[in-house]
Structures are given as C-alpha cells and as structure tokens.
Amino acid sequence: MSGRVSVRVSVRGVVRTFSELCITGGVLIVLFVVYFLYWTGVQADSAGAGEISRLQDRWASGSLTPGTSDSADAPDEDAPGSSGEGLAGPDGTGRDDAGTRYPDGGSFAVMYIPRFGRDWARPVLENTEKQTLRKGLGHYAETAALGGRGNFAVAGHRRTYGDPFKDFPQLRPGDAVVLSDGRTWYTYRIDDRPYKTVPSDTGVLDPVPDPLTPSAAPYRDPGRYLTLTTCEPEWGSSHRLIAWAHLDATQPVAEGRPDVLDE
C-alpha cells in the first residue's frame, strides 16, 4: 500500500513540476513578445525623437549637417527625374558626383511621408547597421547624397523598433516623400507601387535602378532618384519591398514647409 502512495506522490510531483515549467515558459514567452513588439517600439520612438530634436537644435544654431554639398541643392532642369533589416550595398558607383559623405552613424536629415500620417517623421542616419536602424532610417552609405545625382537609397524596419515602414505597401504613384537637411526641403514623388524582390537584388540601389526584373525598372536615364527599402513579409525578411521616387521639387527651408506637408 505504501508503495502505491509513493508512486502517486512521485507522479503528482512530476506533473506539478511540469506544469510549473510550462507556466514559467509561457510567462517568459509573453514577456519576450511584449519586449519585441512594444518595448523596442518605445525605445525606437524615444531614440528617433531625440535624433530629430538634436538635428533641429543644431540647425537652429546655424550648424548644418556635416557633409552637405552645394551640388545637391537643386535638380538639373534638363535631368530626368526632376521638374526644373536592408540589402547589400553597391560598389560605390552610386555616390553623388560631389562625393558628399555624412558622419557614419549620425543623423543628417528628417523624412516625412504624408501617406503614413500627418505626424509621421523619422530621422535619417548614415549606414544601415542594426544599431542605426533602431534609431530611425538608414542611408545606404555608398549611394547618392540627398538631392544629388544618382540614387539616394534609404532602409527602414517594417516591424519592431517603431514600425517606421509598417504601411509601406500603401505607397502609391504620386505620393510625396519629403526630406529636410536643415537648409533645403527636397520633395520626391513615388513613381510606382512597391516592387517585391529578394535580398540579393542589389541592382535596385544602382544610380539608375536596375532590378532583377527588367520590367520593374522605373527609369532608363540618369537622374536624381530616391529608393526606399524594407522587409517583406510584414513579420519576416525573406523578401524586400522597394519603392522608387524622383526628385520633383526643392525649396529653401527659409521659405517655409512645402505645402504637401500641410494638406
């Protein structure tokens, strides 16, 4: 009789221990999900707001972003593409003709996309490293300078770390993408719906974008372009979504915000 009692006690102990382990594991999973989905967003929003605040303070004091070049101020009137975590970067041929370089890991511009909401604004930092993309958007360091000839390419998270490009699939032709470097407003216009491709399709970052699917290429001639990249699917990274835009207009910051930001 005592042997049966011992067996029952032992089985109950095993079941209790297993149940406690399951509960503990469940709690840890919930905590991880909360951290991954919520807390990383809180941290990214705080870091991004801090970067924008520091940029605006610097601009207000008259200190423009290091590396900004005069050649990126305005599009050539005759140039195509003007009216008057990431992909592997290209080999450097996309650099702006003036050789503009920004401080590695530092913020140098603020991006606004009205399609994503009136209050949507993100800092743009130099490089696409993990730590950089936790603060905002990352400029592919070997692509053109903001407003410059070639292809100014920027990456951002689709989900987590503030979900900057969560609504990326909603981009439509004609949508404005506005950036400021403290001296000039640059307004780019999206030319087509997002293009889905694989991470190895690095031609999308070329000075004249050259994707693996030739029919997806939005341009044939040199110009002043913008490429935005993010992950696809929404909670994965097996593919990439790409959006291309051309430089449509520029205006000095002293003249006020572009009208498209107040529509």
Positions marked catalytic: 157, 231, 240
DSSP string, 113-155: -GGG-TT-EEEEEES--HHHHTTSEEE-TTSPPTTSSEEEEEE
Bridge partners of residue 249, in order along the sequence = 187
Measure the CA angle with vertex 15, ends 10 and 16; round to 5°: 95
Residue 227, beta-bridge partner list = 153, 244
CA distances to 20, 109, 161, 181 from 56, in Å: 52, 10, 22, 10
Buried b (16+ CB within 10 A) or exposed e, 226-251: bbbbbbbeeeeeeebbbbbbbbbbbe
> What does the alpha-carbon distance between residue 251 and residue 258 come to, in Å, rounded to a whole number?
8
Pick from 156, 147, 155: which is nearest to 100 by CA? 147
